[in-house]
Amino acid sequence: MRLVRQLLRRPTVVLGLAIVLLFTFVAVFAPLLEPYPIDGPSGEPFEPPSAAHWLGTDDAGVDMLSLVIAGAQNSMLVGFAAALVAVLIGGTLGIIAGYKGSWGETTVTGVTDFFLVIPGLPLMIVLAALFGQTIYHIVLVIGLLSWMSVTYVVRAQVHTLKERGFVARARSLGAGDLYIIRRHILTHVAPLLVAQTVLTVASAVFFEAALAFIGLGDPERVSWGTIIQNAFLHSAVSLGAWWAIVPPGVCIALVVLGCFLVGQGVEEAMNPRLGHAHVAPKSFRLRRASTEDEA
């Protein structure tokens, strides 16, 4: 609770939180908020923004504002679901590696290193191309390739927690490993997991847009990525219809930025010495340089 109060005093965190909550709200209530239906035209093709269509229309005359709202639903869904998958895997592996030590740690760091080195997007493309493009596959593909940074961050935190007095005391009173993990480790790692979830949402939204642009989005659903792809394919560029391109991109950028502000704020509040030593909402790769027991 102290952490929450401390966080709410930071203007950047409040701003980030406001952005993320706003888009989550829009995503949840999307069908109620869309001013026009998205499955049919409500105006002329590529109508510029007007009082009737605030963001204009796309190549089929569908209202852009409605599309962006509907896109929020699927983009945020992919973002949160993939982040949950990633944090579940990464958190579990990180706790195992940090708490167990010895061979458990060697195995986990080996596997994590492997997935860190393999370039993410090409592998996602291969997997999505091989296993079909429903939204569930996309969630899995992104989630299964985004857990590595979570593992490293959690492992480092568990390492320091393990040496703390209360863990030793609990152990000397006869507490088992599972009890200590549940009672002491998890409660202390929880804020970090939240921060990692939020940061992974950002990268997942980004990767969804990338996959969709390459033509690997779910063809049945509208997302910010598929809106951009659709505009690209239907010559919004040559017609100068910037309104068919700008809104989804701005939404992606806002969500990424909001998630980054929140995640960074939580991490800084937990570890003030961290400063600004790392920045990478999309790929956490440079974090690796700071794991002290490397080499």
Partner 1 sequence: MSKRQKFIVRRAASALIIAFIAVTFSFVLFRALPGDAAANLSRVPNMTPEAQAAIRAQFGIDKPLATQYWLYLKELVRGNLGYSFQNQQPVRDNVLLNIRNTVVMVGVGTVAAILLGTLIGVAAAYRQGSARDRVITGAAMVIYSLPVQWIGLLLLVWLAGYLPTSGMSDPYLLDAGLWETLVDRARHMLLPSTCVALMLFGGFALVVRSSQLEALADDHVLTARAKGYRNRRIVWREAFRSAMLPLVTLSTLTLGWVIAGAILVEAVFSWPGAGLATVQAVSARDYPMLQGIFLFVTVSVVGFNFVGDVLHAVLDPRVTE
Residues lying near partner 1 in the complex (CB under 8 A) are found at 113-114, 117-123, 125-127, 129-130, 202, 206, 209-210, 213-216, 228, 231-232, 236-238, 240, 242, 245-246, 248-249, 252-254, 256-257, 260, 275-283, 285-286, 288-289, 294-295
Task: Pick between residue 58 and residue 189 the one whose CB is nearest to partner 1.
Answer: 58
Burial category of 257 from C-beta neighbours within 10 Å (exposed 0-12, middle 13-18, buried 19 and up): middle
Task: Pick between residue 80 and residue 206 the one whose CB is nearest to partner 1.
Answer: 206
Place of tokens 């102290």: 2
Radius of gyration of the chain (CA): 21
Task: Pick between residue 66 and residue 230 the one whose CB is nearest to partner 1.
Answer: 230
Residue 142 CB, nearest distance to partner 1 (Å)? Answer: 12
Task: Pick between residue 168 and residue 253 the one whose CB is nearest to partner 1.
Answer: 253
CA dist., res. 168 & res. 138, Å (int): 43
Residue 88 CB, nearest distance to partner 1 (Å)? Answer: 22
Residue 226 CB, nearest distance to partner 1 (Å)? Answer: 12
Whole-Å CA distances, 123 to 89, 116, 210, 243, 249:
18, 12, 13, 32, 24
Residue 222 CB, nearest distance to partner 1 (Å)? Answer: 16
Q: Decide: 209 and 225 in contact? Cβ < 8 Å.
A: yes
Q: Pseudo-torsion of CA 33, 38, 43, 47, nearest 10°?
A: 80
Residue 59 CB, nearest distance to partner 1 (Å)? Answer: 14
> Who contacts 167 (Cβ-Cβ below 8 Å, separation ≥6)?
161, 180, 184, 185
Q: Decide: 216 and 192 in contact? Cβ < 8 Å.
A: no
Task: Pick between residue 174 and residue 275 the one whose CB is nearest to partner 1.
Answer: 275
Angle between helices 135-144 and 64-100 (to 10 degrees): 40
Task: Pick between residue 4 and residue 277 the one whose CB is nearest to partner 1.
Answer: 277
The neighbour count for residue 242, using CB atoms within 10 Å, is 14
Task: Pick between residue 8 and residue 279 the one whose CB is nearest to partner 1.
Answer: 279
Residue 2 CB, nearest distance to partner 1 (Å)? Answer: 25
Give Dmax (Cα) for the chain: 74
Residue 184 CB, nearest distance to partner 1 (Å)? Answer: 32
